[in-house]
């Protein structure tokens, strides 16, 4: 069978930079390199010039999250006229509903990716008092949407277990998001360190979206007064998000050298990761934790919370170490172990680059599409 033609629908896409947009855009590029077409339908936004298989639809600003836009459901004419084989929704919301309607109207199989646990974002649209009720509604809606698909795609086994636990009965398959190992590899860091005024001491850090649900304040708890061999490490935060201002204010009150680098161009990220002695990742809500794998691909071990997908993404004693949720002493101990064993951990990370590559992920995705078509 020829490479299937895919119509992908997503509520978040370029120029917004996050794990979902990176995954969808990378899969689209790799699919095209295999001779296939993967159309992407996404909310229109300034500063992104669409390629021939990228189709912006009318959008409005999302009031609860700055920089995020909501697309109006619809199927561009170019997609409708193509000989689409399978629909892939990367969201259960508005454009995901549009994708599901398109699949139903055209009698096409529907695949849905589960990128984000929706219930974890209740605090963005409530004042806290209604968060529990919103979470319950969000989980019921997720079940309703996912159970109407042919296949649900998750990036990790813990994400599959979570969906099973909340009662999703649809077929669930693991397809890792994959890392562009051509881009994410060990590189020279001199220019990056000079540009950001970073010396040769111990360097710890995080990059990614600064969301409240990611518990980034736990990093500040862990490094307050923290010393490695008597030396105070420098802690760097790359990226941006709604929690950033609070983190910056808190950092001013603790005994630590904390720098906020802001948004980093994707061309800088390999140097960022390579510069670090350890990547710190306390987020309990990840479905995979792509930035952890990007760090590993650059030879940098990860200190991750032993919760959610990071319990699996970080291979204990091989590509990093875990710490217990909410336990600052455990976090500090895991950082010390990682620094002490950094060279060995780094070699293991580099040895596993092929296994976490986006090419391997797209091979798995191709098999899943074909199997879903056979079952439909």
pLDDT tens digits, one per residue of 336-376:
999 999 999 999 999 999 999 999 999 999 999 999 999 99
What pLDDT does residue 116 have? 81
In the chain, the percentage of residues whose pLDDT exceeds 70 is 93
In the chain, the percentage of residues whose pLDDT exceeds 90 is 81
What pLDDT does residue 17 have? 78
Let me know: does 210 contact 292? Beta carbons within 8 Å.
Answer: no
Buried b (16+ CB within 10 A) or exposed e, 119-140: bbbbbbeeeeeebeebbeebbe
Confidence band for 126, pLDDT divided at 50, 70 and 90 = low
Q: Which CATH architecture has domain 190-355?
A: 3-Layer(aba) Sandwich (3.40)
* 283 vs 19: CA distance, rounded Å: 14
User: With 80 as the cut, is the pLDDT of residue 197 above it?
Assistant: yes
Contacts of residue 66, Cβ cutoff 8 Å, sequence gap at least 6: 242
What pLDDT does residue 277 have? 98
What pLDDT does residue 289 have? 93
User: With 60 as the cut, is the pLDDT of residue 80 above it?
Assistant: yes
* 359 vs 208: CA distance, rounded Å: 23
Where does CATH 3.40.50.2000 sit in the chain? Answer: 6-178+357-375, 190-355
* 343 vs 361: CA distance, rounded Å: 27
Q: Which of 64-68, 288-292, 296-300 has the lowest mean pLDDT?
A: 64-68
User: With 70 as the cut, is the pLDDT of residue 329 above it?
Assistant: yes
3-state helix, strand, coil in the chain (%, to 5): 40, 20, 40
Let me know: does 300 contact 279? Beta carbons within 8 Å.
Answer: yes
Averaged pLDDT of the chain: 92
* 292 vs 345: CA distance, rounded Å: 13
CATH homologous superfamily of 6-178+357-375: Glycogen Phosphorylase B; (3.40.50.2000)
User: With 60 as the cut, is the pLDDT of residue 332 above it?
Assistant: yes
Confidence band for 127, pLDDT divided at 50, 70 and 90 = low
What pLDDT does residue 132 have? 73
- What mean pLDDT do residues 187-215 have? 95
């Amino acid at each position: 069978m020829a490479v299937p033609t895919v119509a992908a629908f997503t509520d978040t896409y370029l120029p917004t930079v996050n794990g979902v947009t990176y995954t969808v855009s990378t899969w689209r590029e790799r699919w095209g390199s295999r001779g296939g077409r993967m159309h992407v339908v996404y909310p229109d936004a300034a500063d992104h010039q669409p390629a021939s298989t990228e189709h912006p639809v009318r959008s409005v600003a999302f009031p609860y999250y700055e920089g995020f836009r909501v697309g109006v459901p619809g199927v561009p004419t170019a997609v409708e006229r193509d000989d689409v084989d399978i629909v892939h929704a990367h969201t259960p919301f508005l454009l995901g509903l549009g994708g599901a309607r398109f699949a139903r109207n055209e009698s096409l199989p529907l695949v849905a990716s589960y990128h984000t646990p929706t219930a974890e974002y209740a605090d963005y649209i409530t004042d806290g008092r209604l968060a529990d009720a919103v979470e319950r509604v969000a989980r019921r809606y997720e079940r309703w949407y996912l159970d109407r698909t042919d296949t649900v795609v998750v990036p990790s086994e813990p994400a599959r277990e979570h969906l099973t636990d909340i009662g999703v009965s649809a077929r669930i398959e693991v397809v890792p998001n994959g890392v562009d190992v051509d881009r994410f590899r060990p590189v020279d860091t001199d220019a990056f360190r000079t540009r950001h005024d970073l010396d040769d001491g111990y360097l710890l850090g995080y990059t990614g979206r600064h969301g409240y649900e990611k518990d980034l304040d736990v990093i500040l708890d862990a490094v307050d007064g923290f010393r490695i061999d008597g030396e105070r490490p420098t802690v760097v935060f790359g990226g941006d998000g709604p929690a950033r201002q609070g983190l910056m204010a808190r950092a001013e009150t603790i005994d630590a050298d904390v720098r906020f680098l802001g948004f980093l161009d994707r061309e800088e990220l390999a140097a960022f990761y390579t510069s670090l002695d350890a990547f710190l990742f306390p987020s309990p809500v990840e479905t995979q934790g792509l930035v952890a794998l990007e760090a590993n691909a650059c030879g940098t071990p990860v200190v991750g919370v032993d919760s959610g997908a990071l319990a699996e993404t970080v291979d204990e004693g091989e590509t990093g170490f875990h710490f217990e949720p909410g336990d600052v002493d455990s976090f500090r101990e895991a950082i010390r172990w990682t620094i002490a064993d950094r060279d060995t951990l780094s070699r293991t990370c580099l040895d596993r680059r092929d296994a976490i590559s986006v090419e391997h992920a797209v091979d798995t995705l191709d098999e899943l599409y074909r199997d879903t078509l056979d079952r439909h």
